């Protein structure tokens, strides 16, 4: 199968490598011509996957029209802020009816749409799916065992895409609950910032465990309010992705939180990273969704106040010392 992956970041490049090793004719689109040249000539992407050798058969291009025309399956791994605009640019050159798979974990800030909803809006008639789960790029590139989920309402389509992605130690499951899978993938980044702050402040593993647990309850509450299924959030797209993102030093969102916990300015952190931490943008949309559904979501709201500069990271964790009694564990707060 001819497969195009849009986005040559760490995860997009990893997915393109996996697909190439499955003997698919994979083409990756890089925004930077120099990145495309490096992939083609040196079979590497040192900015995002330092030290890893990419498959020789993996081709790259900086020509978006060429990338779109190549695809019998389109995989989109660009940041959520560029997701809609990128789809609009490829629409003219894309073959009809081919499936479009989102790798991007977040929410569109203005519309509050999930990425598969953006696909359906910009590319009507194309089956839309999301690939999500605890998928740290460098571990998959290193051949370590991992599990992921392909989510789409049509399980016939999901099964077909599952066969495309499955390879070696990467175990691919299907799920019909696209809402639950995408909300879990988006909101876990916000909780990872909170967990990172705990790490930066040195408040202890008990505190981090509490934040992760209550964060899971929080994103489950929102997913269910939006029409998702609670069981989804107990699986790979919820708890699995949340744990990986909150505990791994490879997590960009955890890194942002950790640096905030050490007293650094958000603008400085993001400038130094040179990569997107989706939780910083997602938290704005998440707060608006919480308002729409009448949900408390205290962790999300607190991180929003930190990101907007309303309170410091240290003050945010002072909220753990509130004197009013906690309610039942199934309740928010």
Give the CATH number, domain containing residue 271.
1.10.1040.10
221 and 279 co-located in one domain? yes
Helix axes 178-201, 205-225, angle to 10 degrees: 160
| Last residue of one domain, picked from the residues 126, 143, 176 | 176
**How many domains does one find in the chain?**
2
Q: Which residues are annotated as a binding site for NADPH?
A: 10-11, 31, 48, 105, 137, 252, 276, 278
pLDDT one-digit tens code per residue, 260-293: 999 999 999 999 998 888 999 999 999 999 999 9
Closest to 215 measured CA to CA, from 236, 243, 256: 243
Q: Is residue 207 part of a domain?
A: yes
CA distances 289 to 111, 130, 156, 206, Å, are: 10, 20, 31, 29
163 and 29 co-located in one domain? yes
| Last residue of one domain, picked from the residues 124, 154, 176 | 176
Q: Which residues are annotated as a binding site for NAD(+)?
A: 7-12, 137, 252
Task: Say what the pLDDT of residue 327 is.
Answer: 73
CATH number at residue 23: 3.40.50.720
Do residues 32 and 181 make contact, with C-beta atoms less than 8 angstroms apart? no
61 and 145 co-located in one domain? yes
Task: Say what the pLDDT of residue 323 is.
Answer: 44
Q: Taking 80 as the threshold, does the pLDDT of residue 326 lie above it?
A: no
Residues identified as active-site: 188
75 C-beta neighbours (distance < 10 Å), count: 26
Mean pLDDT of 60-64: 98
Task: Please enumerate in sequence order all residues whose Cβ is within 8 A of that of 272, keeping only pairs 6 or more positions apart, or say none.
Answer: none
| Last residue of one domain, picked from the residues 176, 194, 212 | 176
262 and 305 co-located in one domain? yes
Q: Is residue 329 part of a domain?
A: no
Q: Which residues are annotated as a binding site for sn-glycerol 3-phosphate?
A: 105, 133, 188, 241, 251-253
205 and 121 co-located in one domain? no
Q: Is residue 326 part of a domain?
A: no
Do residues 27 and 4 make contact, with C-beta atoms less than 8 angstroms apart? yes
Query: 326 — alpha (psi -120 to 50), left (phi > 0) or beta?
Result: beta
Task: Say what the pLDDT of residue 12 is.
Answer: 97
309 and 163 co-located in one domain? no
Phi/psi at 269 (nearest 5 deg)?
-60, -50
Q: Is the pTM of this model over 0.75?
A: yes
Helix H, strand E, coil C: the string for 132-187 is ECCCCHHHHHCCCCEEEEEECCCHHHHHHHHHHHCECCEEEEEECCHHHHHHHHHH
User: Residue 241: which domain range?
Assistant: 179-321
């Amino acid at each position: 199968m001819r497969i195009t992956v849009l986005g040559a970041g760490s995860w997009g490049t990893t997915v393109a490598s996996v697909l190439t090793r499955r003997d698919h004719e994979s083409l990756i689109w890089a925004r930077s011509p120099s990145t495309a040249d490096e992939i083609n000539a040196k079979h590497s992407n040192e900015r995002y996957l330092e030290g890893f050798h990419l498959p020789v058969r993996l081709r790259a291009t900086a020509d978006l029209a060429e990338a779109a025309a190549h695809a019998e399956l389109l995989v989109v791994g660009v940041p959520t802020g560029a997701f809609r605009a990128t789809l609009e640019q490829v629409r003219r050159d894309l073959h009809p009816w081919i499936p479009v798979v989102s790798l991007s974990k977040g929410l569109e800030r203005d519309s509050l749409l999930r990425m598969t909803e953006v696909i359906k809006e910009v590319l009507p008639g194309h089956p839309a799916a999301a690939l999500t789960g605890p998928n740290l790029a460098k571990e998959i590139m290193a051949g370590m065992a991992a599990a992921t989920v392909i989510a789409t309402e049509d399980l016939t389509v999901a099964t077909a895409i599952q066969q495309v992605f499955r390879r070696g130690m990467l175990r691919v499951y299907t799920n019909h609950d696209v809402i639950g899978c995408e909300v879990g993938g988006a909101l876990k980044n916000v909780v990872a910032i909170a967990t990172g702050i705990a790490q930066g402040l040195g408040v202890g593993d008990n505190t981090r465990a509490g934040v992760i647990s209550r964060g899971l309850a929080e994103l489950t509450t929102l997913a269910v309010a939006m029409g998702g299924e609670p069981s989804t959030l107990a699986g790979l797209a919820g708890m699995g992705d949340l744990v990986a993102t909150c505990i791994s030093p490879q997590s960009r969102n955890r890194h942002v939180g950790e640096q905030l916990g050490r007293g650094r300015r958000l603008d400085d952190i993001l400038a130094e990273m040179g990569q997107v931490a989706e939780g910083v943008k997602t938290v704005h949309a998440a707060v608006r969704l919480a308002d729409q559904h009448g949900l408390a979501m205290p962790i999300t709201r607190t991180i929003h106040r930190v990101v907007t500069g309303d309170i410091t990271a240290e003050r945010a964790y002072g909220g753990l010392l509130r004197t009013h009694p906690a309610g039942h564990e199934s309740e928010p707060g």
